[in-house]
Amino acid sequence: MRYRALGRTGMQVSVQCLGTMMFGAVGNPDHDDCVRIIHAALDQGINFVDTADMYSAGESEEIVGEALQGRRDDVVLATKVHFPMGEGPNRGGNSRRWIVREVEDSLRRLRTDWIDLYQVHRPDPTTDVEETLSVLTDLVRQGKIRAFGCSTFPAEEIVEAHHAAERRALHRFRTEQPPYSLLARGVEKDVLPVAARYGMGVLTWSPLASGFLTGRYRKGDPIDLSAGRAALNPARFDPSLPENARKLDVVEQLVAVAEDLGCTLPELAQAFPIAHPAVTSVIIGPRTMAQLDASLKGAGLTLDDAALDRIDEIVPPGTDLYRADGAWRPRSLTDPSLRRRPVAERAAA
């Protein structure tokens, strides 16, 4: 396993990061099995583990905390805060009030005295970014976290946060965690260059595009929209929709690339983000030991220029054919009132 510098934090992390979203009720409810998977990953050289408070409502953090007993010093441990953790208007978000409380809950669930990388899971338009940076800076000074970063932030908000940190003499986001895959290359246009400009580490998520790049969904094959990920969002996988038909066409072309390279489609998909110079680590999210073994098997795959050129022809750089589940969308897109003047003001004369 190779290691890379996590931005300018001074920490060295494995190029594959073990993501634990599938540990717990929403994925693998067997705690003992999940612990075995974590230990197997560590034994194979992975030293970077990423979780979040909201994964299975805290259960994932508890599993990670159990698995790292006796091995904590060997692991760069990352978790996240933002999403609601219970009822009530103030049990989520990026406010000082919530972060101060939730970091304590994460430390308790993880059975540790410190978190190496504490990430803001999504932007919060109701909280001034200076407020968030201020409380995170305090947590670094208190020794409860070593560094902090952001996840799925648009480039303009990353830049704004860096300017706010400089203006207020606060610590700054040291990492960004964006979705990045063969089908979702939009971050190549702005997020990855901005991260490189500010010396940020980058850990990418969803290399398999929520299952589209597992080989499970193929053109011409029936897709059961009542099972698995497809059941959660049938419109995302329905082959009768033109946008999904386009994805399936692309998948067939990528399968051909993988076959010519002598690898599987998932191995190709997980090797692709690693080749980008701005990417530090790629998050793999196994639910079973077999899935972990498959990811580790493909860890040594090197994509040469010819392979990357073929991929560029199939999915041009900066192109998004797929929007990852849970990817943040700004209110300027989701709130029609921000894109529409009052009816009486819409005419030119």
State how far the Cα of 256 lies from the Cα of 204, in Å rounded to an integer: 24
State how far the Cα of 61 lies from the Cα of 294, in Å rounded to an integer: 24
Which of 271, 252, 260, 264 is CA-nearest to residue 315?
252
Q: Which amino acid, 47?
A: N
Task: Assess contact for 122 and 152: CB atoms under 8 A.
Answer: yes
State how far the Cα of 228 lies from the Cα of 226, in Å rounded to an integer: 7
Longest CA span, the chain:
73
Residue 180 falls in the annotated catalytic set: no
Q: Distance from first CA to last CA of the chain, Å, rounded? A: 66
State how far the Cα of 205 lies from the Cα of 177, in Å rounded to an integer: 7
State how far the Cα of 6 lies from the Cα of 201, in Å rounded to an integer: 5
Cα dihedral value 275, 280, 283, 289, nearest 10: 80
State how far the Cα of 20 lies from the Cα of 37, in Å rounded to an integer: 10
> What tokens were used for 159?
């830049």
Catalytic residue among 55, 180, 198, 322: 55
Q: Which residues are catalytic?
A: 55
